Structure 1
């Protein structure tokens, strides 16, 4: 006989929670991106960078685009969230943050099952991703 644990073929409740959150979160992010894109291209929300300037600015190096478009870097875009061309970042942020959001309910689930090591790893993963997204370590485009 083998010493490996037997599986009944069913996913653990924590796995189901993670998968469900990821499924609905990703579809929500894509939906938000579609709606905010429509708001942008129809002109319902005024863009920060006028639509007619976008082709000219996109052909420039990113530094020139940021300077001529008066676009803040890093998380500075949040002050422009009411503009049509920056509102669509909400969907992108949701998609990018889904791993963090999905790890949160894993911590109490692991603790409930007495798996403190896994709970600690999930917490560490959340902290690492939040620090990376913050830009405070200076390793990204922030």
Structure 2
């Protein structure tokens, strides 16, 4: 067992993870706020015109997707130049923070020759990437 477990102090890896998570979450929230303001004030034109939103939001999701010509799955990425999809970047950053936080842990664990922890961190990253990709077809995409 690691000495940091017995002392009750956070390990350097835990501090790194926490710091990345803290700043990444605030960064994601800031990005969402900025991109939302760009959308609301019309700085960047939306894909679905604002006047259509009340009509489309009252429809079933399939109708909304069809009438709004909104792609499913990761298809939204082709619409990042549109104001109503640009704010997805902040959401993606927030959702991907666990992956981002695990990346610097791998070299840190390898440096300390904690190969099991490095392998677990790598496995966590791979599982999250596969899940986010929609490859396994869990129904969300």
TM-score range, shorter chain: over 0.9
Whole-Å Cα distance in 2 between the matches of residues 121 and 59 of structure 1? 45
1:5-84 matches, cutoff 5 A? 7-84=6-83
* Deviation, structure 1 residue 71: 0.4
Whole-Å Cα distance in 2 between the matches of residues 54 and 46 of structure 1? 14
How many matched pairs?
A: 139
Which is worse superposed, 132-141 or 31-40?
Answer: 132-141
Whole-Å Cα distance in 2 between the matches of residues 29 and 56 of structure 1? 30
* Deviation, structure 1 residue 42: 0.6
- Aligned to 2:96, the other structure's residue is in SS state helix
Q: CA RMSD, aligned part only?
A: 1.4
- Structure-1-length-normalised TM-score: 0.93
Q: Could you tell me which residue of structure 1 aligns to residue 131 of structure 2?
A: 132
- Aligned to 1:10, the other structure's residue is in SS state coil
* Deviation, structure 1 residue 131: 0.4
- Structure-2-length-normalised TM-score: 0.94
Whole-Å Cα distance in 1 between the matches of residues 63 and 39 of structure 2? 23
In structure 1, the gaps of 5 or more residues are none
- Aligned to 2:89, the other structure's residue is in SS state helix
